[in-house]
Structure formats: C-alpha cells, structure tokens
C-alpha cells in the first residue's frame, strides 16, 4: 500500500491552523454601505425588492448613520431619490438637492465617516437616462448626448464636493467623464477629492431592484449605448485604461459576481485600488433564498464577500455591509 506524501489536510486540521494560513481576511474596513435618501420627514420605507434596505428621510437617517459607525463600517455611498425630475436632471446639481443635504447632514453627525457620492443623472431626469437626450434631426431617434451631459455631471460632482463629499463616484458611463470631472473639481478647488470611477459598468439585469429603489428605470430604451456589453472583457481594459489616463483614483467593476474575471484582470493590469460593486439583485437573490430557508444567509454572504476580495477587490460596495460587519465582530 502506498501513502500520499503531500497531505493538504495537515493545515486544515484545527481552527487555529486554518486561521494561521488563511489568505484572505475580510474586515469591516473593506465595506462601503449604500444609503438611499429622500425628502420629507418620518420616512423609513423598506424597498420591497430589497428587504432590509430603506429609503430614509434626513430626520431618520441619523440613527442609521450611528448604526453604521457602531458596526465599524467607515464609508457610505449616498444615492438620492429626489421629489422633482426634469429633462436635464437639475435636482442632481442643486445646492439644496437631497444628496447635497444628506452629505452635509452625515458629515455633521459623523465627520470621520467617508462619504462617497454617486454622481449620475438617472435618478434626477424625467426620462431616467444617465445624460441629456438628443433627438436625431433626421430619424427622430433619441440618443444620450455625451458631451453636453459631461457639463451637468461636472456641476453635480462639484456641488457634491462643496457639500462635503470625501469621494466622487461617477456612474454615468459617458466617454471622458473622469477627465471632465477631474478638471471641474480641480478648478473649483477640490484637487484633493478623489474619483472612484465606475470604470467598468455593464448593461446588467442585476440592477433591477436598485431601479425600483432609486426610481431610475429608463422610460424608453435601455442603457446599452453607454453601459458595457456583458460579453466583453478586453473592452473593460480599454475603459479602465481611459480612466487611469484621465486621473481616476480608484477603479470599479460592476456588477461583481458574474464579473469576477474582469475584476481580476483589472487588478493584474493596474495598480490603483479596485472596487467591486455587489449590486442590488445579487443582494436580493440572497435575501429571497434566505427568507425561504434555502440557504444560510450569514455563511453565504461572508463566503461571497470573501470571494470578491480573493478575486482582487480592495473595497466592496455592498448592501450586506452592516450585517457582515456585525457578523465579523461575532455578533
């Protein structure tokens, strides 16, 4: 009888040994927690397709921010749900817009919390697209007009920085948006505010619950002329390369789970921090299965987030952040 010389199981024998050789350690510092803020008062409405995620009015947001800090999560990503939409999304760059108000409030309650602002127009436009709509003179076909949209995105980013945002996260996928926003921020005196670029954002079916949450479903067409084709990965390198050249400080891949190969490619090709966005449907599928008793939510979430980090994510934007941070503390 011959015996194996190599026994991989030696290092798996006890919990202590497994802890010693673990390659990837998830911590609460890896997480960015998204918050949806809206007008009015007394609002804490659960988003039906995202159990455990809420719309908050500013008066009820403070308790949530305190919970974030108590859980040891040090960054939030703010999304606004405005009460007014128009063709140019002007409530996105209004000094008194909901996002600007929320940034000021969060920074007043928790100055040490890193506040990341999502910079896009789709929640604020009546047509639900991420830029201005232009109708072709001949065919009448509607298209999202790249360059004029950049001006509005720059105004949005500057107003968010003015309100106190620590990081600007443009998610609109117009060409040249990082360069335009970098330039605009620098000119306005915000040269130390970093840009976390949604570099590689796919035209994904995994954003469905978010669009319910943010009321940002396009009213006609889809986002395939500006977001990326899920079939492409070399194109992801071209997108990311542009952002690096244009001055991005962090590169994001979104969604995460179906695109971990792309995340890994970015990690290998660039030296900037890479961010994974664990998007809304990835969250909702876990919640639905867990509520049916089909999976162990805690184990599945921690395994998923560990997988993202192992694949190369330096940071993870996730709706599970509060739960995961508490679980990691043994609560």
- Does 315 contact ligand PBG by CB under 6 A? no
CB atoms within 10 A of CB 208: 15
Smallest gap, in angstroms, from Cβ of residue 42 to ligand PBG?
25
Q: Which of 28, 68, 113, 120 binds ligand PBG (CB under 6 A)?
A: 120
Q: Which is nearer to ligand PBG, 148 or 189 (CB)?
A: 148
Report, in Å, the least distance between residue 282 CB and ligand PBG.
8
Please state whether the peptide bond connecting residue 255 to the residue before it is cis, i.e. omega within 30 degrees of 0: yes
| 171 in contact with ligand PBG (CB under 6 A) | yes
> In the chain, what is the straight-line distance between the N-terminal and C-terminal CA atoms, in Å?
48
How far is the C-alpha of 100 from the C-alpha of 8, rounded, in Å? 54
Closest approach, Cβ 330 to ligand PBG, in A, equals 28
d(CA 131, CA 279): 21
H/E stretch holding 192: none
Which lies closer to ligand PBG via its Cβ, residue 91 or residue 280? 280
Instruction: Please name which of 311, 314, 321 lies closest in space to residue 52, comparing C-alpha atoms.
Output: 321
Question: How far are the Cα atoms of 34, 46, 196, 263, 297 from residue 314, in angstroms, in the given order?
Answer: 17, 29, 12, 10, 23
Which phi and psi (to 5°) does residue 323 adopt? -60, -50
Which residue lies nearer to ligand PBG by CB, 101 or 280?
280
Q: Would you tell me the crossing angle of helices 177-187 and 234-246 to the nearest 10 degrees?
A: 20
Phi-psi region of 43 (alpha: psi -120 to 50; beta: other; left: phi over 0): beta
Total of chain residues touching ligand PBG, rule CB under 6 A: 11
Show the tokens assigned to 158.
């500057």
Contact status, residue 91 vs residue 135, Cβ threshold 8 Å: no
Residue 177 or 190: which CB sits closer to ligand PBG? 177
> CB of residue 169 vs ligand PBG: minimum separation in angstroms?
8
Q: CB of residue 8 vs ligand PBG: minimum separation in angstroms?
A: 38
Peptide bond into 63 cis (omega under 30): no
Query: x/- binding map, residues 198-227, to ligand PBG, per CB under 6 A?
Result: ---------x--xx----x-----------
**Cβ at position 242, least distance to ligand PBG in Å:** 18
Q: Which residue is nearest to ligand PBG (CB)?
A: 210
Please identify, among the stretches 102-110, 116-124, 294-302, 304-312, the one whose residues bind ligand PBG according to the rule CB under 6 A.
Answer: 116-124
CB atoms within 10 A of CB 220: 9
Give the integer Cα–Cα distance in Å for 45 and 279.
Answer: 20
Instruction: Looking at residues 278 to 307 of the shown chain, list those that interact with ligand PBG (rule: CB under 6 A).
Output: 279-280
**Cβ-based nearer residue to ligand PBG, 120 or 251:** 120
56 touches ligand PBG (CB under 6 A):
no
Out of 81, 122, 193, 263, the only residue in the binding site for ligand PBG (CB under 6 A) is 122
Active-site annotation, residues = 201, 254
Considering the rule CB under 6 A, would residue 91 count as an interface residue with ligand PBG?
no
Nearer to ligand PBG by Cβ, of 23 and 229: the residue is 229
Among positions 60-89, residues that touch ligand PBG (CB under 6 A) are none
Where do contacts with ligand PBG occur on this chain (CB under 6 A)?
118, 120, 122, 130, 171, 207, 210-211, 216, 279-280
């Amino acid at each position: 009888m011959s015996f194996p010389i190599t026994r991989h199981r030696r290092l798996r024998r006890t919990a202590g040994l497994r802890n010693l050789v673990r390659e990837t350690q998830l911590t609460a510092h890896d997480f960015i927690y998204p918050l949806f803020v809206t007008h009015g008062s007394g609002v804490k409405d659960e988003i039906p397709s995202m159990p455990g995620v809420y719309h908050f009015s500013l008066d009820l947001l403070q308790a949530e921010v305190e919970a974030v800090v108590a859980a040891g999560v040090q960054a939030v990503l703010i999304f606004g749900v405005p009460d007014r939409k128009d063709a140019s999304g002007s409530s996105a760059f209004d000094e008194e817009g909901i996002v600007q108000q929320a940034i000021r409030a969060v920074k007043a309650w928790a100055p040490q919390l890193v506040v990341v602002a999502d910079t896009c127009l789709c929640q604020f436009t009546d047509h639900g697209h991420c830029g201005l709509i232009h109708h072709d003179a001949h065919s009448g076909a509607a298209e999202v007009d790249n360059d004029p949209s950049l001006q509005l995105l720059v105004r949005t980013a500057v107003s968010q920085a003015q309100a106190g945002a620590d990081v600007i996260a443009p998610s609109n996928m117009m060409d040249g948006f990082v360069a335009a926003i970098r330039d605009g921020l620098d000119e306005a005196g915000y040269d130390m505010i970093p840009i976390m670029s949604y570099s590689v954002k796919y035209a994904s079916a995994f954003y469905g619950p978010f669009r319910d949450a943010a009321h940002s479903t396009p009213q006609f067409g889809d986002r395939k002329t500006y977001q990326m084709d899920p079939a492409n990965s070399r194109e992801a390198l071209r997108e990311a390369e542009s952002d690096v050249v244009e001055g991005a400080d962090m590169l994001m891949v979104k969604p995460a789970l179906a695109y971990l190969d792309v995340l890994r490619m970015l990690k290998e090709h660039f030296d900037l921090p890479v961010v994974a966005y664990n998007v809304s449907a990835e969250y909702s599928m876990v919640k639905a299965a867990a509520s049916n008793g089909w999976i162990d939510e805690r184990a599945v979430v921690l395994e998923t987030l560990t997988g993202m980090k192992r694949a190369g994510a330096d940071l993870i934007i996730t709706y599970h952040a509060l739960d995961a941070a508490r679980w990691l503390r043994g609560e």
